Amino acid sequence: MNRKSFLLGALALTLAGPALAQTMAPSVDQPVTITFYNYNLGSAGIGAEATKKLLNEFMAEHPNITVEGVPYSSADGSRIQADLAAGLPVDMVQTVFSDLDFAVHNWGAKALEDIAPADEMAAHFEGMSPNGLKLGVLDGKTYGLAYTFSTPILFYNADLFRQAGLDPDSPPKTWAAVKDAAIAIKEKTGKEGFAAGITGPSAADWLFQGVVRSNGGEVISRDRKTLKFGEPEAIEAVAMLRDLHDAGVYENLDISGAMEGMAAGNVGMYLQTSAVQGVLVAGAKDKFDLRASTMPSFGEKPVRPNNSGSALTIHTADPVKQRAAWELMKFLTSKHGYTIITSEIGYLPLRTDIVDDPQYLGDWVKSHPLVQPNLEQLAVLEPWDPMPGPNYRQIVKTMMDAVEMSVFGGADVAATMADAQANAQALMP
């Protein structure tokens, strides 16, 4: 079995050998089936319907290509790994950005520069946000195209703002202002001042990375060798969150608790991915005035948010399948694709030029003003750094456990973060 797959691999390598750059076939002339591992398909929500719709449209346009959607859970990649280990074809994946390093080094994600003709890439990237394109770049190569992604948004309840004597037309822009507003809301209305999806079992580290970066720090060095979340800038950022908790305005609610609290009108401000917008809008309808602002900054320092969400990655080594996957990738990240993704799943368009175009998102954006801060942040968006090596998830967990203990658990912030950094550094490759 092993020898057979080795021989097959060697054969594929020799076949691919002569054309080392751009291995994919020029076109798909015979029927081909590709698998697409997609976590939206695994959820019962609207994401699955919109995804199926896009896949069906694609197959109608490309009669030779059959796309087999495989649902998987983004919480752990074990389905993908198990299928790869079993020798099943994993051709294209909707990869969470924090898994990107692992996907490249273990799941054989291919750099687009290595498989796709340069002119086709250039033509397709036309009109895409340069910051958005950078999100899927690792070690200088484009491994993924941002697919369903979003930015951190400060949702706020304008009614609670009014009751607390705050001006809902000038939402807090800095963390200091967030604290003042939260205290006012807590004192005047008795509701929760502030909630955030920074910590918690399913939060991962995307929001935390943006908070640290906005304070001039980073969780991992640019050469991706040294962890830095125990350094002064990061500690200061964690201490700021701790201060919010100590002031009594930032409780350790779990993800669904915070989201439902905000949707029910019991929370003043809520920092979370724009992807939850649909739930909040549904909860606020006819009950309270839901508004949105950009992520808060540390004083005068610039806000440096990063994205959450996923990229599309191509994993197949077969030239014809690569072509089929590339066509699917182009379709899903086309103007039409992003229109569906933004308006029906609730993410962001990587193509900013469709936002004002009435043929695409123009009317939708006008009737959905909450998406505006998201679009503003697209201009300053930075990549969500994936942790390297086989223990990357353990690194993220060690870091986020320390953050939670520091903010909510009463632990000494500097010592806890430094300790966790030392522990996690030992897990780096």
Partner 1 sequence: MTIASAAPPRLRRMTQSRWAPWLYLSPALITLVVWIYWPLVDAVRLSFYQWNMLPNSPQLFVGWDNYQRIFALPKFWQALRNTGVYIAGLLPLAVLIPLAIAIYTHDLPARSRNVYRAIIFVPMIIAPVVAAAVWRWLLDPGYGLANQAIKGVGLEPVKFLSDPKVAIWTVILITGWKLMGFSTLILAAANANINPSLIEAARMDGASKWEVIRDVRLPLLSSTVLFLVVMTILLGAQWSFTYINVLTGGGPLGSTTNIYYLLWDFGFSTMSVGWGSAAAVILFLGFGALAFVLFRLIDRYSFHDN
| Three-state SS sequence of 183-200 | HHHHHHHCCEEEEECCCC
In the complex, what is the shortest distance from the CB of residue 233 to partner 1, in angstroms, rounded to a whole number? 22
Residue 382 or 419 with smaller CB distance to partner 1:
419
Give the shortest CB-266-to-partner 1 separation in angstroms.
7
177 binds partner 1 per the rule CB under 8 A: no
Residue number, 235 or 341, with CB nearest to partner 1: 235
- Least distance to partner 1 from the beta carbon of 202, Å? 7
Return the beta strands (E) in 20-132 as ranges. Answer: 32-38, 65-71, 92-96
User: For residue 391, what are its two tokens?
Assistant: 């223990």
Site string for partner 1, 99-128 (x = CB under 8 A): ---x---xxx--------------------
Nearer to partner 1, 90 or 332 (CB): 90
Compute how many residues bind partner 1; rule: CB under 8 A: 44
Q: Which residues contact 74 (CB under 8 A, 6 or more apart)?
A: 39, 42, 96, 310
Whole-angstrom distance, CA of residue 129 vs CA of residue 353: 9
Residue from 401, 414, 418, 425 binding partner 1 (CB under 8 A): 401
Question: Token digits for 155?
Answer: 């949702």
Cβ burial of 300 (10 Å; 0-12, 13-18, 19+) is exposed
Instruction: Give dist(CA 307, CA 291) in Å, integer.
Output: 20
Q: Which is nearer to partner 1, 259 or 378 (CB)?
A: 259
CB 319 within 8 A of CB 13: no
CB of residue 169 vs partner 1: minimum separation in angstroms? 29
Compute the least distance from the CB of residue 7 to partner 1, in Å: 13
Cβ distance to partner 1 smaller for residue 258 or 378: 258
Strand 92-96 and strand 32-38: the pairing is parallel
Name residue, tokens 């698998």: 35
Any contact of residue 236 with partner 1 (CB under 8 A)? no
Contact 193/181 with Cβ under 8 angstroms?
Answer: yes
* Contact string 345-384 vs partner 1 (x = CB under 8 A): ----------------------------------------
Rounded CA-CA distance 180/282 in Å is 28
Q: Enter the tokens of residue 191.
A: 């509701």
List the one residue out of 175, 139, 169 whose CA is nearest residue 156. 169
| Part of the chain binding partner 1 (CB under 8 A), chosen from 119-127, 161-169, 340-348, 386-394 | 386-394
Shortest separation between residue 102's beta carbon and partner 1, angstroms: 7
Residue list 33-92, contact with partner 1 (CB under 8 A): 76-78, 81-82, 84-85, 87
Q: Estimate to the nearest angstrom the gap between the alpha carbon of 237 and the chain centroid.
A: 21
SS3 content of the chain, % helix, strand, coil (to 5): 50, 15, 35
Q: Please pick, from the candidates 91, 159, 231, 404, the single residue that binds partner 1 as defined by CB under 8 A.
A: 404
Closest C-alpha among 33, 29, 49 to residue 41: 49
Smallest gap from residue 84 Cβ to partner 1 (A): 6
Q: Which of residues 243-302 bind partner 1 (CB under 8 A)?
A: 252-254, 257, 260-261, 264, 266
Which of residues 174 and 266 has its CB atom nearest to partner 1 in the complex? 266
Given the complex with partner 1, which of 235 and 295 has the nearer CB atom? 235
Q: How far is the CB of 355 from partner 1 (least distance, A)?
A: 36
Q: Which of 408, 414, 425, 428 binds partner 1 (CB under 8 A)?
A: 408
The reply on whether position 388 binds partner 1 by CB under 8 A is no
Q: Should residue 174 be labelled a site residue for partner 1 when binding is judged by CB under 8 A?
A: no
Inter-CA distances, 258 with 82, 122, 150, 196, 238, Å? 34, 42, 19, 7, 19
Q: Are 81 and 291 in contact (CB under 8 A)?
A: no
Least distance CB 141 / partner 1 (angstroms): 20
Could you tell me whether strands 65-71 and 32-38 are parallel, antiparallel, or unpaired per DSSP bridges? parallel
Contacts (CB under 8 A) with partner 1, residues 181-210: 200-202
| Site of interaction with partner 1 (CB under 8 A) | 2, 5, 9, 76-78, 81-82, 84-85, 87, 102, 106-108, 200-202, 252-254, 257, 260-261, 264, 266, 390-394, 397-398, 401-402, 404-405, 408-409, 419-420, 423, 426-427
